[in-house]
Amino acid sequence: MYSIFAAGITLFSIVQRTTAQEVTTDSVSDAFTQARVVPDVLRSFEPQGVLEVVFTDPSTSNQIRVTPGMNLTPAQTANRPNFGVSGLPPSFAPQSFVLAFIDPDAPTPSNRTLAQVRHLLGGDFALEGQLNETTPLLANKSEAITEYLGPGPPPGSGPHRYVVLLFNQNTTPNQTFPSVSASFANSTTPRIGFNVTRFAEETGLTGPVAGTFFFVAPEGASSSSSSSASGASTASTATTPRSVSTTSPSTPTNSLAPATGSNAATSNMGVSLVALMLAVTPLIFL
């Protein structure tokens, strides 16, 4: 009797583990609806492949594979991730793609007046090489329109959704995406107040053909047990909150706060840069 019970528990936990890892186009689509990414960001979403976003935790060098709706910390997402996509029909193989990584919850989920915020926007991604043995890597062939900015929701905010979408680019072989995007989003376009649906319409994108999302809570408010003291000293530079100025939308390169300019900041600098940012009033965290 006991052994049957134990076997049941074991089987149950194996099934749990397996299903927890398995991401399908259906499970992604369900997760988007459950978290209201549809309709907040997209009118509808019918993924044709599974988008993989893989972060490298700066304090442990561990790879973190994003599954839809998972909780991550600002530290874990500080560095630009790698992207891959699996399961797309073969007809997609020769095509180029646009990646958009946005925050629809800025400055907070209950006040979205600054949304959407672009955390990365780039085109001319192609399936090239491998993310791992089974998943093709998405490699880019042109400069990002908006370079990666790690999540940094403001203190006191609820967790933000960070949504990563892969679109078909639909350009001719001689066209690069920055030339198509130029009049709609370019290096001087503020990160805030973006609308990825409108942008896709303006630039002739189709899809999204794949996507994922995750949550990040403000530094210190994390529900994750990984934000323990052990990683604090090494993580402190990477966890400096990211912010964007709202005052000078015409300033080139999206007006990153000085604190975010260098990844080589020492931990001492981290503290003084936070103080500096607090002194500069119009800065907001995204």
Quote the least distance from Cβ 132 to ligand NAG, whole Å: 4
CA-to-CA distance for 286 and 269, rounded, in angstroms? 21
Distances (CA, A) of 130 to 52, 54, 134, 135, 208: 12, 13, 7, 6, 21
- Cα–Cα–Cα angle for 31, 106, 154, nearest 5°? 110
Please work out the total of residues on this chain that contact ligand NAG, with binding judged by CB under 6 A. Answer: 28
CB-based closest residue to ligand NAG: 122
Cα(150)–Cα(241) distance, integer angstroms: 9
Question: What three-state secondary structure class fits 239?
Answer: coil
Q: Does 186 bind ligand NAG (CB under 6 A)?
A: yes
Task: Give yes or no for residue 56 binding ligand NAG (CB under 6 A).
Answer: no
Q: How far is the CB of 225 from ligand NAG (least distance, A)?
A: 23
Residue 38 tokens, joined: 């549809």
Q: How far apart are the first and last CA of the chain?
A: 55
In the complex, the smallest distance separating the C-beta of residue 122 from ligand NAG, rounded to whole angstroms, is 2
Binding piece for ligand NAG, criterion CB under 6 A, among 186-194, 215-223, 227-235, 257-265: 186-194
Q: Is 285 left (phi over 0), alpha (psi -120 to 50) or beta?
A: beta
Query: From the CB of 76, what's the least distance to ligand NAG, in Å?
Result: 16
User: Binding ligand NAG by CB under 6 A: which of 71, 82, 147, 274?
Assistant: 147
Mapping DSSP to helix (H, G, I), strand (E, B) and coil, where does residue 5 land? Answer: helix
Q: Between 25 and 140, name the residue whose CB sits nearer to ligand NAG.
A: 140
Instruction: Specify whether the CB–CB gap between 169 and 96 falls below 8 A.
Output: yes
Please, which residue, 74 or 107, has the CB nearer to ligand NAG? 107
Region class of 67: left (phi > 0), else alpha (psi between -120 and 50), else beta: beta
171 interacts with ligand NAG by CB under 6 A: no
Q: Are strands 97-103 and 243-245 parallel, antiparallel or unpaired?
A: unpaired
Residue with tokens 């909780």: 71
Q: How far is the CB of 283 from ligand NAG (least distance, A)?
A: 10
Q: Is 189 in the site for ligand NAG (CB under 6 A)?
A: yes
Cα–Cα distance list, 247 to 190, 256, 284 (Å): 10, 12, 10
Binds ligand NAG (CB under 6 A): choice among 27, 29, 71, 132: 132
- Indicate which single residue of 89, 133, 225, 228 sits in contact with ligand NAG (rule: CB under 6 A): 133
Please give the residues from 92 up to 131 whose contact with ligand NAG meets the rule CB under 6 A: 107, 111, 113-114, 122
Q: Given the rule CB under 6 A, which residues bind ligand NAG?
A: 52, 65, 107, 111, 113-114, 122, 132-135, 140, 143-144, 147, 172-174, 182-183, 185-186, 188-189, 195, 197-198, 284
